[in-house]
Amino acid sequence: MIARSRRPLAALVAAVAVAASLIATSVPASAATYVVVSGSGSTWSSNALDQWRRNVANNYGMTVNFSGTGSSAGRADFIKGTVDFAVSEIPFQAAPEDGSAPERSDRPYAYLPIVAGGTALMYNLVISGKRVTDLKLSGEVVTKIFTGQISRWNDPAIQALNASLTLPDMKIVPVVRSDGSGSTAQFTKWMSTQYPGIWTTGMTSQFPADKLPDAKRQSGSLGVSGYVGNDNGVGSITYVEYSYPKGMGFPVVQVQNAAGNFVGPTAENVEIALRLARINEDQSSPDYLTQILNDVYSNPDPSAYPMSSYSYMIVPTAVGGVFTTEKGYTLGEFVKYVVCDGQKQAGALGYSPLPMNLVKAAFQQITRIPGSAVGEFNADSCNNKGAAGEAQAGGGGGAAGGAAASGGAAAATAGDAAAAGTTTEPVYDANGNLVSGSAGAGGAAAVSSPFTLAASSFGASQVGMLIATILFVVAVLVPPLLVRRARRR
């Protein structure tokens, strides 16, 4: 009986397998010279890597797989040898903060910069029914907010920087990441470098649990940005990749840079800041090839965004394990695409293109990948100045206006939202949320119950309602009694 009943199931599985093989053969075979390359790591960079993976598949028939499981998981995978490359915001930790064994890779490796971006501070503040879109904060105020030293929006330090706004007496709700995250690492690195007296914990991927007991902790960039973007999130502020508030049409804080200007994390401003990024060239140091961003944070350029950084790709520099020369050739071509043509789309994706100094540094490392055929850096063939070339005046709107020119309705909507920031007509983002301007209904009004009466005193309508209620109750209770009496008769 059971054998008979398994037959249809077996037939179903066989049919699926046949269909699957048909589908597999219908996919165009990749170019004979490329092999499949797999990597894992940073979720911060996964948006960009997904787009680049798709571009190389489209343009060259190259197959690259990337799993966004987290920077530490990526580094661990690289150490174990289960992936061909890893992407991480922080290098291998020689002295992990919790006293466990240092991360040491038996495979020789190199770091190269691939994706740059700014840490954006997304906030949700409503004054008299209108959403605030031009909040300005200094780095010190930001650090104090995220250590709990400034806890209300109308704190004099914040009010002093925003003379045009009457800030409400509301509690600031900081929203931080509950999972280990590269955004936390980059944010805490900036705080610990610039304001070590206020932020004493140093750089960490896990926002400390004992700091900020009143903070909300949400998982993932989606969680933190979703919390702030919700109606319940009025008064909250968080740090997140710029692509999220950009996609949601939400405003971000304009942070004061070393020149005293308040700038937003647009692609141009981040790229300008990163021109002062340096790479550790000391071969004997354990931090060889890692980033030195102290000059970036205090870049004197008037348009530089201080909280800028980039993430690394960790590539093997020797054949072994799963890594072969053919994979090295494919990986080399992929990285070359990423740091050159791929950077054109960085702005649209919410990141920033790598400045030339970092591109040159990347090329130096690509040549160390066994099997790569990428030559020396050639400024003419590697042009990544796409949309970032249009200079935007410092300050001003928070969204990347020019970079929104590429396809994708979301980017365009965000651009419109920013441009319309000061008009009074309501502007909505892709999800229909009110971004700026006054809506007809006056924004968040008090919840009105669905069945209120106009006046509260005893008037004609109230009498009518009372009579109607009594009639209904009578209509419900009386007939059964009448029917019972009729039956008995």
Partner 1 sequence: MSIVDAQERVRETPTDAVSRGGGRTRVPTAPAGRARPERRRPGTAALEDGFDLGGALLAGICVATLLFGWIAPLSGIIGWIVVAYIVFVAVYAVLVGLRADRLAVANRLATVLMATAGIVVLTALVFVVLYTVGRGIPALSHPNFFVETMRFAGPLDPLDVGGIAHAVVGTLIQIGIALAITVPLGIVTAVFLNEIGGPFARFVRTVSDAMTALPSIVAGLFVYAALITLVTKERSGFAAAVAITVMMLPIVIRSADVVLRLVPHHLREASYALGASRWRTVWTVVLPTSRSGLATAVILGTARGIGETSPVLLTSGVTAEMNTNPFSGPMISLPLQVFTFVQSPEPQMVARGFGTAAVLILLVLSLFVVARLIGGRGAGVLSDGQRRRATHRSRHDLIRITHRTRTDSPARSGGTTPTQENP
Partner 2 sequence: MTDAVTEIIPPRETKTSTAPRRSLRSLPVFSDRVFRAVCFAAGGVTVAIMLAVGVFLSARGGQALASAGPSFLWVQEWNPRDGVPDSFGIAAVLFGTVTIAVIALLLSFPLAFGTALLISEILPNSVKRAMVTIVDLMAAVPSVVFGLWGVQYLQENAVPVAQWISSTFGWIPVFAVTGSDGASLTEASAFTSSAFIAGMVVALMVLPTQTSIMREAFSQAPIGEREGALALGSTRWGMIRTVVLPFGRGGIIGGTMLGLGRALGETIAVYMIISPIFTINWQVLKTGTNSVSALIALRYGESSEFGLSALMAAGLALFLITLVINFTASSIVARSRSGAESNG
Angle between helices 356-366 and 325-339 (to 10 degrees): 170
Binds 162: which of partner 1, partner 2, none (CB < 5-8 Å by kind): none
**Is residue 47 involved in binding partner 1 (CB under 8 A)?**
yes
**Is residue 51 involved in binding partner 1 (CB under 8 A)?**
yes
Residue 67 burial (CB count, 10 A) = 16
The 140-179 contact track toward partner 1, x by CB under 8 A, reads ----------------------------------------
| Site stretch for partner 2 (CB under 8 A), options 24-32, 151-159, 226-234, 402-410 | 226-234
| Residue 236: its H or E element | strand 236-241
**Is residue 169 involved in binding partner 2 (CB under 8 A)?**
no
Binds 181: which of partner 2, partner 1, none (CB < 5-8 Å by kind): partner 2
- Binder of partner 1 out of 220, 371, 396, 443 (CB under 8 A): 220
Q: Check: CB of residue 212 under 8 Å from CB of residue 255.
A: no
Residue 209 burial (CB count, 10 A) = 11
Laid out side by side, the sheet with 308-316 consists of 64-67, 37-41, 85-88, 308-316, 109-124, 236-241, 173-177, 216-218
Binders of partner 2 among residues 69 to 98 (CB under 8 A) are 69-73, 93, 96, 98
Q: Which is nearer to partner 2, 68 or 353 (CB)?
A: 68
**Is residue 16 involved in binding partner 1 (CB under 8 A)?**
yes
Q: Which is nearer to partner 2, 206 or 406 (CB)?
A: 206
Please list, in sequence order, all residues whose beta carbon lies within 8 angstroms of the beta carbon of residue 3, skipping any fewer than 6 positions away. Answer: none
Binders of partner 2 among residues 174 to 213 (CB under 8 A) are 178-181, 205-206, 208-210, 213
Whole-angstrom Cα Rg for the chain: 29
**Is residue 249 involved in binding partner 2 (CB under 8 A)?**
no
DSSP state of 342: G
Laid out side by side, the sheet with 262-263 consists of 136-137, 254-256, 262-263
Q: Which is nearer to partner 2, 119 or 138 (CB)?
A: 119
Q: Which is nearer to partner 1, 144 or 344 (CB)?
A: 344
Please list, in sequence order, all residues whose beta carbon lies within 8 angstroms of the beta carbon of residue 170, skipping any fewer than 6 positions away. Answer: 152, 153, 154, 234, 235
Tokens of 216: 């909300």
Binding site for partner 2 (CB under 8 A): 69-73, 93, 96, 98-101, 103, 171, 173, 178-181, 205-206, 208-210, 213, 216-220, 223, 226-227, 230-233, 235-236, 447
